[in-house]
């Protein structure tokens, strides 16, 4: 997948909300969105007065979700195709698939500050899934899967600090973690209620089904 290398804070400003792409920085006054909440570029403040078309609204929602989870357009289209062929509501299925990505689960468990950091850790083979090394960020976990940090990385002070912060902020109900053993488990599939990010998933389904 093509990697985004420009300033991540620009993405938050473009979408008009915090996407929490830079970990702890997003919770402090150093966050660029706190100081400049208008879109980036020379005419950023002017764009706030521009009314989006129906197509534009759906496009922005799709772009926002892509940026939150760090997936490419090709991957997003693949998840849409999978979601519409699964039983249940396509929008809920789409979000569930994105939440089940291994890089997202590593982030949700608290091993990483951000999904980008989690993706890098997975790529470098930091984790075992059910006792086997998995270095594919898009790997989809299922209920009962155990995600464990390899022993040689457990002394990393950054990871230890990340876990402490996650315990303080709480864990999604569909996951559980044993901090002392650097091990997490998927208790169940995530439901729509577990995803608190303000997302209108129906707009994304309408965008792709047009």
CATH number at residue 13: 1.10.1050.10
Gap between the terminal Cα atoms of the chain? 25
Mean predicted lDDT score pLDDT of the chain: 84
Do 115 and 69 meet the contact criterion of CB atoms below 8 Å apart? yes
Residue 191 lies in a domain: no
Q: What is the mean pLDDT of residues 17-21?
A: 59
Q: Is the pLDDT of residue 27 over 60?
A: no
Q: What is the model's pTM?
A: 0.81
Residue pLDDT, tens place only, 74-107: 999 999 999 999 999 999 999 999 999 999 999 9
d(CA 19, CA 16): 9
Shared-domain flag, residues 111 and 152: yes
Q: From CA 16, how far away is CA 148, in angstroms rounded?
A: 36
Residues 175 and 140 in one domain: yes
pLDDT confidence tier of residue 1, bands split at 50, 70 and 90: very low
Domain that holds residue 59: 55-99+196-210
Q: Are residues 42 and 118 in the same domain?
A: no
Q: Taking the CB of residue 8, how many other CB atoms lie within 10 A of it?
A: 18
Confidence of residue 43 (pLDDT cuts 50, 70, 90): low
* Number of domains within the chain: 3
Specify if 21 maps to a domain.
yes
């Amino acid at each position: 997948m093509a990697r985004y290398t420009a300033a991540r804070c620009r993405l938050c400003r473009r979408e008009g909300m915090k996407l929490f792409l830079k970990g702890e920085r997003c919770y402090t006054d150093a966050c660029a969105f706190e100081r400049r909440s208008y879109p980036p570029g020379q005419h950023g403040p002017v764009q706030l007065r521009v009314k989006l078309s129906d197509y534009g609204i759906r496009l922005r929602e799709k772009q926002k979700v892509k940026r939150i989870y760090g997936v490419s357009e090709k991957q997003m289209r693949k998840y849409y195709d999978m979601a519409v062929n699964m039983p249940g509501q396509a929008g809920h299925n789409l979000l569930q698939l994105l939440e089940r990505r291994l890089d997202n689960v590593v982030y949700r468990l608290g091993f990483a500050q951000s999904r980008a950091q989690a993706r890098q850790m997975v790529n470098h083979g930091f984790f075992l899934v059910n006792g086997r090394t998995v270095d594919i960020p898009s790997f989809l976990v299922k209920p009962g899967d155990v995600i464990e940090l390899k022993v040689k990385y457990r002394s990393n002070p950054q990871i230890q600090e990340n876990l402490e912060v996650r315990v303080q902020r709480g864990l999604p109900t569909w996951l559980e973690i044993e901090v002392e053993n650097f091990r997490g488990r998927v208790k169940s599939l995530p439901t729509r209620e577990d995803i608190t990010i303000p997302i209108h998933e129906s707009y994304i389904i309408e965008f792709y089904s047009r």
